[in-house]
Amino acid sequence: MSHVPSDPRLGTRRIRRVAFSRTDIERRVGELGAEITAAYPDGDLVLVGLLKGSLFFLADLARAIQRPVWIDFLVASSYGREKVSTGEVRVRYEPAIPLQGRHILVVEDIIDSGRTLGVLLDRLRSAEPQSLAVCALLDKRLAPPPPELRFVGFAAPPDFLVGYGLDHAEDFRHLPYIAEVD
């Protein structure tokens, strides 16, 4: 982790340090794109992003994958305005694209407790996809990984992280790096 330089995007808000720089993220997303391209040589590949956290990662990842992809989203929440999951997973929006018989790759920003992801994977399995896998930018390794976890960007520290889609009460998502909150 490195110290965060003065950043006008922060205004008066503070972060403790940068965990993953913009350069680190760009490099790793490119590598993940190449891995996913090789893993899915044919068939329909649907990237299902978990909003709002996966938005930036999903957009960059979709551009790094060198094959046709479909994109849709799920909206689920278990944090609200807290830094710790409430344990209650609420699903507010499900994919509109038909998923049956297609390869589904769930694009997740961070795996923390794994509760939200577990609930969503159960729902997606019921759509009878050809295959179901997960690509997570960050994995805190706090719980046993689901068997569907196939692609991971970085092992994450246990700190509460923000930036590159990750937020605290809807703040900090826009940062191009991932940092620990002060």
From first to last of its 182 residues, what are the pLDDT tens digits of the chain?
455 557 766 766 677 899 999 999 999 999 999 999 999 999 999 999 998 999 999 999 999 999 999 999 988 766 555 555 556 677 766 788 899 999 999 999 999 888 888 888 988 999 999 999 999 999 998 888 888 999 999 999 988 999 999 998 888 999 999 999 87
Q: What are 111's strand-pairing partners? A: 139
Q: CA 178 to CA 181: how far, in whole Å?
A: 10
Instruction: Establish whether 171 is a catalytic residue.
Output: no
Q: Residues 6 or more apart from 23 whose CB is under 8 A from it?
A: none
> What was the pLDDT predicted at 114?
81
> How confident is the model at residue 51, as a pLDDT?
87
Q: Tell me whether the omega of the peptide bond preceding residue 52 falls within 30 degrees of 0, making it cis.
A: yes
Scan for tokens 């759509």, then name that residue: 127
Domain ranges of the chain: 52-78+88-182
Cβ pair 106, 95 in contact under 8 A: no
Q: Cβ(167)–Cβ(175) under 8 Å?
A: no
> pTM of this prediction?
0.87
Catalytic residue among 44, 112, 167, 182: 112
- Which tens digits make up the pLDDT trace of 148-178? 999 999 999 988 999 999 998 888 999 999 9
Distance CA 10, CA 7 (A): 6
Distance of CA 176 to the CA centre of its chain: 14
pLDDT score of 4: 54
Choose which CATH entry (3.40.50.2020, 3.30.750.24, 3.40.640.10, 3.40.50.970) describes domain 52-78+88-182: 3.40.50.2020
Residue 132 one-letter amino acid:
L
Measured torsion, CA atoms of residues 127, 59, 177, 13, in degrees rounded to the nearest 10: -80
pLDDT given at position 46: 98
DSSP string across 53-90? TTHHHHHHHHHHS-S--EEEEEEEES-TTSSS--S--E
